[in-house]
Amino acid sequence: MTIVWYVLIHVSLGLIGSDYFRFTNVGALYCVAASAVVQGYAMWEIHRRSWPMFLQSIDADASPATVATARRGYWNRLGRVFIFRVSAFSILTLLIALLVRGAGS
């Protein structure tokens, strides 16, 4: 259900920022920056829920190298999810802004 809220947030961003979010270099950077802020909060929510479960999954008798590798993998996966979400929602925001302006503008 939370994904619906983030879709609505990015649709609203596209409606509000239609003058700024354009298919140009600067417009795309503005859109990515706005999406990164919104998705940063989403990633914090994901981390807040998954970090305790991740810590429970680590064996108490695991070697420090294994624990370090597992933590690095956790942060790498979280980073990839962040990049994917920012990319997908930036495209959504850009398309909504394009629809608001009209395709010819």
The pLDDT of residue 104 is 59
In this prediction, residues 31-53 reach a mean pLDDT of 95
Above pLDDT 90, what percent of the chain?
Answer: 78
Spatial distance between the Cα atoms of 17 and 27, rounded to a whole number of angstroms: 10
Residue with tokens 């479960």: 53
CA dihedral 56, 60, 66, 68 (to 10 degrees): 60
Per residue in 78-101, pLDDT (tens digit) is 999 999 999 999 999 999 999 998
